[in-house]
Structure 1
Amino acid sequence: MAHIPDGLLSLPVLIGGGAVAATGVAMGLRSIDDRAIPRIAILSAVFFSASLLSVPVGPSSVHVLLSTLMALMLGPGIFPAVLVALLLQTILFGFGGLTTLGVNTINIALPGFVVALLIGSMIRRASSPMSASVIGAVGAAVAVFGTGGLVAISLWLSSSDYVPAAKVLLVTYLPLSIGEALICGTVIGFLKKTSPETLFPRLAEKGASA
């Protein structure tokens, strides 16, 4: 349940999440030039489509996040990409909520962005596609648990009554982390072999060479 619906979170959590999300989106928008827009749009559309496919796990459901892969390719551009996709999902399908849009954006985008900062250089310097794939897979799994942790913290800070549910949610992220690792690791290994330049987020920054 990365899409937290309206009515669950307290006002301070909503305001705090919205402020952090606004900072991330502003940082992402400053990094965008005309050449970066198609890449951001494509990855936002991929995230939009893939995350519509939810798989029931216990009392909740999970879906792929692709946040590590997106952050590797977009850098800060992941924040506006996720925001737009979540907004459309809320308006068109009722996933998540409008008041929780900021919190949901941060819960999904921030772990991938942080993980990409930590492993990006290792993937780009990797001696083989297999090495890049393994590093990417581990990073993707870590980002999934980062999202699960942020969702749990958001609920816990809003009300202690959500603590039991938050603990259950964390357990449901275990199978998601495995699937996310397989998908992202495979894609990263393929890109490392065929188009390694796509794994450089500076391509989505102003002043970067094409």
Structure 2
Amino acid sequence: MHISEGILHSQTLIIGATAAVIGVSVGLRKTDYERLPLTALFAAAFFVAGTIHVPVGIGSVHLILNGMAGLFLGWAVFPAFLIALLLQVIFFSFGGFAVLGVNLCVMALPAVLVHLLLGRYLQQSLSRARLILLGASAGVIGVGGAALLASLILAFDGGKAYYDLIRLLIVTHIPVFFIDGIISAGVLLTLNKMSPALLRTTP
């Protein structure tokens, strides 16, 4: 869900960059450095998911997996996603340097919301059905939150001129809601079988 370079006005870019700096600062303070391998794993998963994308209007459609990352990492998604987005800009020209802060907020803020809403459930012993529900909810909230936030940013920046593009953005991401949720549920089920202790150590 990268917003392309040259679309947003300078005031929107400044607000996005400021929010991103604050988020990264909080994320670095809250990062558990004993869990850096897990943070790097989710950053890599986010990077790979974002490279397989389809340009749509002034953005792009791709898997995000931000809800799953947020579930495990909390505020640490900000520095993790920053590195992934920066590498995507450098190697693939996705988004752009000027819009990096806005794109980071679009991806990371819904991930933090997932952690705040659902992270505590990882501390509990959950049945298979509840793990599936938890993973699916994380995927839907992560993608839905990103789509909603990107739409609000476009509406704030361009008003009615971007309404058609906002509708296109939302419609094209409907399949991503389901796919992201299915993958997230599958990740939780797999981890519960292979490394159940990992689910219990989430901050």
Question: TM over 0.5: same fold?
Answer: yes
Q: Quote the residue 2:157 is aligned against.
A: 158
How many pairs were matched up?
201
Provide the residue aligned with 2:197 in structure 1.
197
| % same residue | 37
Shift of 1:28: 1.1
Larger displacement relative to structure 2 (133-142 or 147-156): 133-142
Matching residue of 1:176: 176
- Alpha-carbon distance, 1:59 to partner: 9.2
Gaps of 5+ in 2: none
The structure in which a higher percent of residues are helix is 2
Residue by residue over 1:50-85, the C-alpha shift from the partner in whole angstroms, topping out at 9 and shown as x without a partner, is 210114679964111111111122121111111110
AA matched with 2:82: L
Give 5+ residue unaligned stretches, structure 1. Answer: 203-210
Partner residue of 1:122?
Answer: 121
Partner secondary structure for residue 144 of structure 2: helix
Equivalent position of 1:47 in the other structure: 46
Distance 1:132 1:120 in 2: 12
TM-score in terms of structure 1 length: 0.88
Q: TM-score, normalised by structure 2?
A: 0.90
Calculate the aligned-residue CA RMSD, in Å: 2.0
Match of 1:207 in 2: none
Query: What residue identity is the alignment partner of 1:94?
Result: S
Q: After the TM superposition, which residues 43-82 of structure 1 pair with which residues of structure 2 at under 5 Å, given as runs? A: 43-55=42-54, 61-82=60-81
Measure the CA separation in 2 of the matches of 1:40 and 1:139: 17
Deviation at 1:197, TM superposition (A): 3.2
1:109 to 1:60, Cα distance in 2 relative to 1, 3 A = closer
In structure 1, what is the equivalent of residue 131 of structure 2?
Answer: 132
Q: The residue matched to 1:62 in structure 2 has which SS? A: strand
Mean CA deviation greater in 135-144 or 29-38: 29-38
Rounded Cα–Cα distance in structure 2 between residues aligned with 1:58 and 1:17: 21
What is the Cα deviation at residue 148 of structure 1?
0.5
Once the two structures are superposed, what CA deviation does each residue of 1:91-136 show, in whole Å capped at 9, x if it has no partner?
1110001011011011011112101211122243243133112122
Structure 1's consecutive aligned runs of 4 or more residues displaced over 3 angstroms after TM superposition are: 55-61
Deviation larger for 128-137 or 69-78: 128-137
